[in-house]
Amino acid sequence: MINSAGKHVIHPFDRAVPPTEPPRLLVFVGNPTQYHSPIFRKLSDALGGRMEVMYGDDIGARPFFNAEVNAVIDWDIPVLGGFPYRIFPNRAQSDRKGFWSRNNPSMIWHVYRSPATHILLHGYDTLSSWYVYFAALLSGKKIIWRGETVAKIGQRPGRMEIVKRTVLPIYFRLCNKILYSCSNNRDYLSTFTPNSEQKFVPFPCAVDNDFFRKNAVADIGEQQSLRNELNIPEGHVVIATCSRLTKRKRTDAILDAIARLPERRATLLVIGDGPERPALVKRAKELGVSLVIAGFVGQLKVARLLSISDIFILLSIYDPSPKALNEAMSFPIPIVASTGVGTARDLVQHGVNGYLFEAGQEEALTGWLKQWIDNPEKRRAMGQANAAIIAGYSIDIDVRNVMGILGR
């Protein structure tokens, strides 16, 4: 339904799939995504359907234009279904980003009167997350909080950080448990929760690893056809990156590293889109580097593109928990990730399955690429080390740890 202002509005019970029995767990999240849904399905199975996901908007369940990637996002896998959920009417003027983007006052009464004993609350960065927080406290429900923020390396605390240091110690004191996605995430959250070690429970940053393995392209002939379709030169090593093309992703540094190679037998395959695309295309032409930009694609296509990749690089200046890193590690390809990537400290073991990149190591990056291009056996051996590492970052572990909190 569209209101007079042109905003998409949903009746409280539109598309609602209620629990078959009174829920033990309520979950709050801003909107449906392809990353949350597999977790919710397995969690619902473990609870026998006795949970309900509360969404603050339906963006993601319907196609929407994202200016940052310059594309209409329409997930190629189902993001709803397989778990009870309800999409609440959103009174916000904009549903994209920011504190005021989720304003769902009807959640207050819904949470207050629910028979659930626990709330799994994602974030504190929207108005509705605070509605849910206070309604849970007033109704005696235990709050399980989840967020993936990490400290920004080298940045002085801004005004918002000062506010956080005042408010969050009180906020987290009233939470029953705090889920952390990686070591950097835990370290950051610990600054607000001194002497609260018992509250922390691991909830590893994870994607559906089985999905990516299942949808990988194993046939050599099919892989070659896909390379030909993308006009990747014969004999080139494919260096992939997967991200929104913005300045903080530092994709231009990958182009520069390839340009420094003595022989440029490599193609940069960019899985993503965004405002930096024209500049990257221009830069690649100036440097004489082979560049293929696949654009924004869904997970099925991501799996196909990673299947033809030989190396994966993510050089973000700041990126708390990019799922692209997990996705790449479902494949036997070595990784380079910057220390600005929050999960890199846990997922990338320097010298084992890849290398950690720090600012000023541009020459080292070129050296690593040359090593892997010249020595395919070492490249494959390091890539195969991903499997053992990523096994510790799975949805099954996440679900098991939440069930432990619930006493199951």
- pLDDT one-digit tens code per residue, 337-357: 999 999 999 999 999 999 999
Q: What is the pTM of this model?
A: 0.90
| Alpha-carbon distances of 282 from 278, 285, 288, 400, rounded to whole Å | 6, 5, 10, 48
Mean pLDDT across 373-389: 96
* Class of 25-206+393-405 in CATH: alpha beta
Fold of 210-390: Rossmann fold (3.40.50)
Q: What is the pLDDT of residue 268?
A: 98
Residue 163 contacts residue 139 (beta carbons within 8 Å):
no
Q: Is the pLDDT of residue 3 over 50?
A: no
- pLDDT one-digit tens code per residue, 80-96: 999 999 999 999 987 67
Domain with CATH 3.40.50.2000 in the chain: 25-206+393-405, 210-390
Sheet-wide strand order for 335-338: 290-293, 266-271, 237-242, 311-314, 335-338, 354-357
